[in-house]
Structure 1
Amino acid sequence: MDDDGRLRNVFWADTRSRASYKYFGDVVTFDTTYMTNRYGMPFAPFVGVNHHGQSILLGATLISSEDTETFTWLFHTWLNCMDGEAPKAIITDQDRVMKNAISLVFPNTQHRFCLWHILKKLPEKLGSHGAYKTGLKSQLLNCVYDSHTIEEFEGSWEELITKYNLQNNAWLKSLYDERTYWAPMFMKDVFWVGMSTTQRSEIMNAFFDGYVHARTNLKKFVDQFDNACRKKIENESAADVHSFNVTIPVVSPSPLEKIF
């Protein structure tokens, strides 16, 4: 509550979310870019991945502001719900305030910025450069995706900056300063369940689109949230039944594949 006794932030995690976290809490994505409702409170889910590769809910929140104090409260509350077990890795968008809160609450968790959110800014940040379409963009993407060692990344980045006279580009400078948070080369030693973006959160958001919208009132929101979760459970149960009763056909004559 705020000082006037009005609802400020809400967080909840049901028993299933807490149980799932014990199995699938290695990597979590958290995204606040989804629907802001009529109360001006963004809905933000904590999302993981289960044994079927499905997105699962590990908690959810409605927050009234996106400042360090709010995120710190939220992450502490979520951590408390999960028996004090911090995730090994977390993926968020490139939000300074969120980054500060994560370093305070999850000091030993590997934090990764969503690579898609960063690269989609390329046209806005570098599109006006004369060589953007004739080499700059492709060379930058090669540096990001095709570097196999840290030395190779550093060398490619330096070559890019020098070749296109980008020494004074503030956006690229800030990216380089935080390269250990987003460049794939620096993430190779951490298990990410195949994720480098907050796409899982966005898939979860799209799933909720069928149940809630920006004008849904709080009571209806809670009811619809329960319906959505029920549907998620049905999907997981159906995948369980399928996996127990279906044999995956082999596609090669290799006896090794048959054993697997």
Structure 2
Amino acid sequence: MQVDDEGRLKNIFWAELRNREAYKEFGDVVTFDNTYLTNKYDMPFAPFVGVNHHGHSILFGCGLISHEDIETFTWLFRTWLSCMSNSAPIGIITDQDRVMKVAIQNVFPNTRHRWCLWHIMKKIPEKLGGHKEYRDISNVLHCAVYDSQSAAKFEETWHHMIVEYDLGDNEWLRGLYDERHHWVPCYLNNTFWAGMSSTQCSESMNAFFDGYVNSKTTLKQFVEQYNCALKNKVQKEVEEDVRCLSQQMPCVTSYAMERQVRDVYTISKFQEFQQELIGKMYCEFVNSMGCEYIVREDVKVGEGKKRTFF
């Protein structure tokens, strides 16, 4: 707990033994989102969340904070890091909060900081919807972000969009471009992200607490209900472990590799691998350029498909 000069409660952090043990196994990437719930004392709920071997959200501790400033976030991050044996994550995913960005740089200088891609792309209609060529701009922007296999390709597509639609004066786009290393996938794909590109795991964990806590929950009730919610989460993980031990997914190919992966992966992770394996059927070798190979892939988009090259 952190108190002010008059001994009044300012901020709280807590983590159970299970949270700390989970972090040892699954703490490579952490999402942090403090937008879910503000209690009756005007203290936002701030959980540290990751994903486990089933792809489920998992809690690494949480806090209740009185302010959303650099000092408060720095205290919370340092307290959490100390609780996790001073082992910083490889990557952390947050929203675009500038104050939070400074605190992360102070406490996790060697951790890769990523902005939530989903929240950024969600703002496109709000920021660009008034433009007469909005639909075309949106399509090009999505192409630049999701289809660029390299930084050079992103730069080319982005600059074409800015010039073609006369967007040089758009401050929102200019700010995003300046911070592109924090959110554009092709600048971040050299870091392990455990399949995450947004804070939606935090939102999934937040949704899990619905029914246990609300804005009128007292501090004492909050801790008690937190424990109840966590026990429920643990029970679901145990049930999924049992399912993986008692069931076996069918293979869709005759590759020995698929059988090998099936025997060592959890069901959810094997299904992800299986989808990628099936996707091989839609890849076609085009030609080679020295040590580089050009491969064409047909990707389903709605009822149609588009071809991408990599």
Structure 2 distance, partners of 1:83, 1:138, is 45
**Cα deviations by residue, 1:10-34 (Å, 9 ceiling, x for unpaired):** 0001101101111101000000111
How far off its partner does 1:53 sit? 1.1
Structure 1 residue 161 corresponds to structure 2 residue 162: yes
Structure 1 distance, partners of 2:258, 2:49, is 32
**Matched residue SS, 2:30:** strand
Mapping of residues 216-227 of structure 1, within 5 Å = 216-227=217-228
Structure 2 distance, partners of 1:105, 1:219, is 30
Structure 1 residue 181 corresponds to structure 2 residue 214: no
Structure 1 residue aligned with 2:49:
47
Structure 2 distance, partners of 1:26, 1:248, is 27
Structure 2 distance, partners of 1:259, 1:50, is 21
**Ranges in structure 1 where 5+ consecutive residues have no aligned partner:** none
Structure 1 distance, partners of 2:256, 2:38, is 54
Structure 2 distance, partners of 1:223, 1:8, is 20
**Matched residue SS, 1:9:** strand
Give the stretch that moved more between structures: 35-44 or 240-249.
240-249
Structure 1 distance, partners of 2:132, 2:257, is 53
Structure 2 distance, partners of 1:20, 1:101, is 24
How far off its partner does 1:4 sit? 2.1
Structure 1 residue 200 corresponds to structure 2 residue 205: no
Structure 1 residue aligned with 2:270:
none
Give the number of aligned pairs. Answer: 259
Give the stretch that moved more between structures: 19-28 or 244-253.
244-253
**Ranges in structure 2 where 5+ consecutive residues have no aligned partner:** 262-310
Structure 1 distance, partners of 2:256, 2:22, is 35
TM-score normalised by the chain length of structure 1: 0.97
Structure 2 distance, partners of 1:45, 1:53, is 17
Structure 2 distance, partners of 1:57, 1:232, is 9
- The one-letter code of the counterpart of 1:247 is Q
**Cα deviations by residue, 1:170-199 (Å, 9 ceiling, x for unpaired):** 111110000000001101111111110000
Structure 2 distance, partners of 1:17, 1:259, is 31
Structure 1 residue 14 corresponds to structure 2 residue 16: yes
Q: What is the root-mean-square deviation of aligned Cα atoms in Å?
A: 1.0
Larger Rg: 2
Structure 1 distance, partners of 2:227, 2:258, is 41
How far off its partner does 1:124 sit? 1.4
Structure 1 distance, partners of 2:33, 2:96, is 10
- Bigger relative contact order (CA 8 A; separation at least 6): 1
Structure 2 distance, partners of 1:33, 1:20, is 23
Structure 1 distance, partners of 2:105, 2:256, is 48
Structure 2 residue aligned with 1:237:
238
Structure 1 residue aligned with 2:69:
67
Structure 1 distance, partners of 2:255, 2:153, is 37
Structure 1 residue 213 corresponds to structure 2 residue 207: no
Structure 2 residue aligned with 1:171:
172
Name which of 96, 99, 102 aligns with 2:101. 99
Structure 1 residue aligned with 2:88:
86
Mapping of residues 100-115 of structure 1, within 5 Å = 100-115=102-117
**Matched residue SS, 1:111:** strand
TM-score normalised by the chain length of structure 2: 0.82
